[in-house]
Amino acid sequence: MSQENAPQADATLLQEVAELLVSALNLDLGPAEIAPDEPLFGEGLGLDSIDILEVALVVSKRYGFQLRSDNEDNVRIFKSLQSLATHIAAQRTI
């Protein structure tokens, strides 16, 4: 499914994914403090590759699809909370 035709994440899903990130990674901030377009890596939220593996695991369990480490779209998928939630909206089976 192309990004243009993918279902967009609504505010409820954004909040849910933000809560999932905070919980899974034991972040020292609240879900509401994660801006939808803030980068997840580096200057933004500051996640690293180990954090992304944790996120992939909890997303797989929660939403019923696999995020694979060899997916060429991972840079786009994990760019921000918005991009991750949009990918979940398009792929979720649960």
Q: Which amino acid is at 8?
A: Q
For position 5, what pLDDT does the model report?
A: 54
Residue 32 has pLDDT above 90, yes or no: yes
Q: What's residue 1's pLDDT? A: 44
Confidence of residue 64 (pLDDT cuts 50, 70, 90): very high
Domains and CATH numbers, the chain: 3-91 (1.10.1200.10)
Q: Can you give the pTM of this predicted structure?
A: 0.87
